[in-house]
Each structure stands twice: as C-alpha cells, then as structure tokens.
Amino acid sequence: MEPILQVRDMVTRFYSVDGVVHAINGVNFDLYEGETLAVVGESGSGKSVTMMSIVNLIPQPPGKVEGGQAIFSYGEMAQDLLQLSEDEIRHVRGGQIGFIFQDPISSLNPTMTIGSQIAESMTEHLGFSASEARSKTVELLRNVGIPDSERRFNAYPHHFSGGMRQRVMIAIAVACRPKIVIADEPTTALDVTVQAQIVDLVKRLQEQMGVAVVWITHDLGVVAGLADRVLVMYGGTVVESAPVDNLYEDPRHPYTIGLLKAIPRLDATGEAETEELEVIEGVPPDLYQELTLCPFAPRCGYAFDRCWAEVPPLIEVGVQHGAACFYDVERGGPRNGS
C-alpha cells in the first residue's frame, strides 16, 4: 500500500527573542490510507509542531519550516504540502485534511450557529447548494451523536457542553470527507467517560469513511485500543515507529521502554493509581541548542561514545519497525556497525 502522506527530513525552527528553538529536527514518517497513527511523546517533543508544520499552521514568524518534504498523494495527485501557496494549503486544510483540537471553544466561531459553520465549509469545499449543505449538515450532526440535530443546527457553540462541542468539531473536521484527520489531544480536556465516547466516535467515523487519522497524545495508555501504528517523538525527532503491538511487546528505543514503564494503571473507577507510575530520570533536551547528538543520550542508561557524537537515524529493526538508536537493547550491546 502506498502512503497517503510521506514526511521526509522536516525541520522547523522558532526565531524567538531568547534564541532559536530547534523544535523539529529532521522528522520522517509515513501515513497510510485509512490507518490510525498515534503520535506520542512528552510535552515539548514536537508532536503538535510536526503536524502544524505540514499544513502551514505554525505562527510565522516566529516559526519557519526550513527543510524537508510532506508529499500528500492520493489517486493521480501528488503534491509537496510544504511548497503550496497560502491559498492552496488553505484549500487542503478545509477539504482534504481535517483537524480536531483539544480546545473546541477556541476553534469554533462563537458568533455563528454550529450548523452554518459546518454547512459553510460544505458549500465552499464540496460545492453544495445551501439547501443540500443544510440537509447534509443535519445528517452529519445526527451521525456524530448530537440529538435533535434539526433544531441544534441553529444553536451557538456556547449552548453546548465540552463533550458536545468536541462532537461539533469532529463534524466540522469530517464534513468535507477528508483523506486525513489530525486529532491533537482531542480528549484531554474531557472527563474519562466522555473521552471514551469521543474515541469511539472517531473510530466509528473512520470505519465509515476510510479516513486516515493521526491521533496526538502524550498518554500511551489510550493508544493500545486505538492505533494501528505508533510514532514516538523525542526532542523534535521520531525515535521509534512501529505497529502498535510491536511497540508494546518489543520496544527498541530506551525512551519508549521508559515511557511504557511510566503508563499509569487505571483502577476500577478509572482513576489513575499514580503511585505505580515510574518516571524517566532527567530533563528534556534544551531545544535552544542545535541537535548534534542523540537527544535522549543524557537520560539514557545505554548511551556510549557514538551516541554523544552523532544523531542516530531511524534504523530498521523489524517489519515496519524503526528505532533511532545505536544500541541494540535486544542483543545488549552497540548495534552492528556502531
């Protein structure tokens, strides 16, 4: 199967008053049609900036995508999203790539009814007539679990609860039948029961529509039941990429191994039992420095001389399984050739 999105050597920096933030340092990954790709990693690892860079949503200045490619292809069409004009990329964002953010209230227009926000994007991107867009919107609202959708068409965002607003955001994201939906921590602000409902909703819509979903989270606990594949990010790089079962059973990057140990177990009430949580010692990398070594080396129990001298590339360690590490945790020693 061909990837619908191929990101290669992407570099994004922020030119702040305090210096240059090396936020994304050569990110590589593929996204396949119809799959769910989870992107995990601690705060500041570059999950959001990676996805924002691809669709030109980083604030510019201070941000700048300084290198790489993001080849978006389906059917006969293939284009490098990083080379598109502002108008072209806006069209891609509204039509072929949809977004669900953590905070729906700041992404919804407070002065427009939710129905007209959805219908407007259908008339703009799908060329529907006003009445066609209205009836498709009512149908879509019903499909995302908003009861009494005929009447709710005319409600404003502040009339909805957090969970219902997230359903509206999801409706907007899928309204134009996108090829890709990017969900950036869409359930973080919601309580546990509502979180599970939103996860189920996105899964169901994905099955109905065959859309590829990128699900950003720093919670590896929610990934198992959701993702086909996982990208683990650290210090603005992808340090491991694997099918979800492989990642849990056979993690190869010391950071991933540490993360998996840090998953809080949930008790019967869904409350995290934090006393079982293991944390990875040390602090995240200083992104004001250019990356010249393995970003995880200072926190890694396996680091040896090469790790301090070079940035490890993503090395193939199994079927569809890559790890950016010079140390072979399986054999217990530097990887062959390291």
Using CB under 5 A, list all residues that contact Mg ion: 48
**Subset of residues 265 to 324 that bind ligand ATP, contact rule: CB under 6 A:** 287
Residue 213 pairs in a beta bridge with: 36, 181
Residue closer to Mg ion, measured from CB, 48 or 195:
48
Position 23 contacts ligand ATP (CB under 6 A): yes
Report residue 77 as tokens.
């069409």
Q: Within its chain, how far is the Cα of 68 from the centroid?
A: 18
Position 43 contacts ligand ATP (CB under 6 A): yes
Buried b / exposed e across 284-302, counting CB within 10 Å, b at 16+?
A: bbebeeebebbbbbbbbeb
Instruction: Single out the residue of 44, 163, 254, 322 in contact with ligand ATP (rule: CB under 6 A).
Output: 44
Residue closer to ligand ATP, measured from CB, 23 or 55:
23
Position 22 contacts ligand ATP (CB under 6 A): no
Binding mask 201-240 for ligand ATP (x = CB under 6 A): -----------------x----------------------
Instruction: Single out the residue of 45, 137, 206, 241 in contact with ligand ATP (rule: CB under 6 A).
Output: 45
Please, what is the minimum distance in Å from the beta carbon of residue 185 to ligand ATP?
6
**Subset of residues 166 to 205 that bind ligand ATP, contact rule: CB under 6 A:** none
| Whether 68 contacts 81, CB under 8 Å | no
Q: How would you list the strands of the sheet with 229-234, edge to edge?
A: 97-100, 180-184, 212-216, 36-40, 229-234, 237-243, 321-323, 315-318
Please, what is the minimum distance in Å from the beta carbon of residue 155 to ligand ATP?
30
Residue 238 pairs in a beta bridge with: 233
Instruction: Single out the residue of 30, 37, 46, 213 in contact with ligand ATP (rule: CB under 6 A).
Output: 46
Residue 262 carries which DSSP code? T
Residue 327: contacted member of ligand ATP, Mg ion, none (CB under 5 to 8 Å, by partner type): none
Please, what is the minimum distance in Å from the beta carbon of residue 222 to Mg ion?
15
Residue closer to Mg ion, measured from CB, 24 or 114:
24
Q: What is the DSSP string of 69-115?
A: EEEEEETTEEEEGGG--HHHHHHHHHHTEEEE-S-HHHHS-TTS-HH
* DSSP three-state, residue 198: helix
Q: Report the C-alpha dihedral over residues 220, 68, 12, 179, rounded to 10 degrees.
A: -50
Residue closer to ligand ATP, measured from CB, 171 or 314:
314
Q: Residue 335: left if φ>0, alpha if ψ -120 to 50, beta else—which one?
A: beta
Instruction: Single out the residue of 48, 56, 137, 237 in contact with ligand ATP (rule: CB under 6 A).
Output: 48
Q: Which residues bind ligand ATP (CB under 6 A)?
A: 14, 16, 21, 23, 41, 43-49, 59, 62-63, 218, 287
